[in-house]
Amino acid sequence: MFVTDETWYCSLQCATVGGASQDHLRNYSISTVWNGLLDIAYADMVKEGDGLAIMSMWRLNMIRFWIGGHNKYLIIGHRLLAGKDSTWILSYTHRYKIHQ
């Protein structure tokens, strides 16, 4: 049996990207659990009608949209967050804060 003391990589890309220090299965599992918890929290916010929490979730979703390349949702979310406090009339903004 051939045994070596050197670090072995499956390809040149693995050696240059992160090598043995990156566990892709672990990273995928963490990402899946994190996204699932965010979705459960979002469903609870919608069920309770918590407008401020929903707006804070949109801030978190902006990162997810950027990473996922969902430019249409990124633009819509940016317009929503930019207009929430600055350009909307007060009564329209108040509708999203009625349950607070």
Residue from 96, 84, 89, 81 nearest 49 by CA: 96
In whole angstroms, give the CA distance from residue 58 to residue 15: 37
Please say if the pLDDT value at position 1 is more than 50: no
Choice between 21 and 63, residue whose per-residue pLDDT is larger: 63
Q: Where are the alpha helices (DSSP H) in 1-100?
A: 12-17, 24-48, 51-68, 71-85, 90-95
If you compute the radius of gyration of the chain from its CA atoms, what whole number of angstroms results?
21
In whole angstroms, give the CA distance from residue 42 to residue 50: 10
Look at residue 93 in the predicted model and tell me its pLDDT: 58
The ranges assigned to domains in the chain are 12-95
Look at residue 51 in the predicted model and tell me its pLDDT: 83
The pLDDT of 83-99, averaged and rounded, is 61
Look at residue 12 in the predicted model and tell me its pLDDT: 64
Q: How many CB atoms lie within 10 A of CB 85?
A: 9
**pTM across the whole model:** 0.58
Cβ atoms of 25 and 41 closer than 8 Å:
no
24-80 pLDDT, tens digit each: 888 889 989 998 999 999 999 999 988 888 888 988 889 889 988 999 999 988 888
Cβ-Cβ contacts under 8 Å for 89 (sequence gap 6 or more): none
